[in-house]
Chains A and B, each alone.
Chain A
Amino acid sequence: MAAAKPKTTTILPESWEHVVRSLQTGFLKGNYVRVINYHNTPKGKTALYERQLAFYQRYFSAANEQDIDRFFDTGVWHKDKPGLILNFFEGYRNNFEIGAPLAEAYGFVGWFFLPIGFMSIAISEQESYAEQNDIGLVDDGYADGRIAMTWDEVRELDKNHVIACHTQNHQRLTRDSSDEELEREICLSKLELERELGHKVATFCWLYGAEVGVNPRADQYLHKAGYKYLLSNFKIQKLK
Chain B
Amino acid sequence: MNEENLRMLGQSARALFTPEQLDLFEASFEKQAAYCRSKIYNEEGIPMFLVLEDISNSKVEPKADSAGLPRDALFDLLLVTAIEVYKQQLEAKSETIEAKDIGLMLEVLAEHFFVTAQLPKLGEPV
A interface vs B, CB < 8 Å? 9-12, 16, 18-42, 45, 49, 52, 59, 68, 71-82, 85-86, 136, 138, 208, 212, 231, 233-240
- For A78, give its contact among B41, B67, B100 (CB under 8 Å): B67
Q: Point out the residue from B43, B57, B97, B103 that lies within 8 Å of A40, measured CB to CB.
A: B43
Q: Which residues of A contact B59 (CB under 8 A)?
A: 238
B76–A21 touching, CB < 8 Å:
no
B residues in contact with A86, CB < 8 Å:
45
How many residues of chain B get a CB closer than 8 Å to chain A's CBs? 58
Contacts of A79 in B (CB 8 A): 68-69
A136 touches B42 (CB 8 A): yes
**B contact face: mostly helix, strand, loop, or mixed:** mixed
Contact, CB under 8 Å: A73 / B62: yes
- Given the complex of chains A and B, what is the CA–CA distance between A136 and B83 in angstroms? 30
> What distance in Å separates the Cβ of A91 from its nearest Cβ neighbour in chain B?
14
- Could you give 28 example pairs across A and B, Cβ below 8 Å? A10-B100, A16-B101, A24-B84, A26-B53, A27-B51, A27-B83, A28-B77, A29-B76, A30-B71, A31-B52, A32-B49, A34-B47, A34-B110, A35-B47, A37-B45, A49-B45, A73-B63, A75-B63, A77-B69, A80-B69, A82-B69, A85-B50, A212-B55, A233-B99, A234-B102, A236-B51, A240-B56, A240-B57
Query: Does A30 lie within 8 Å of B97, measured CB to CB?
Result: no
Q: Which residues of B contact A136 (CB under 8 A)?
A: 41-42
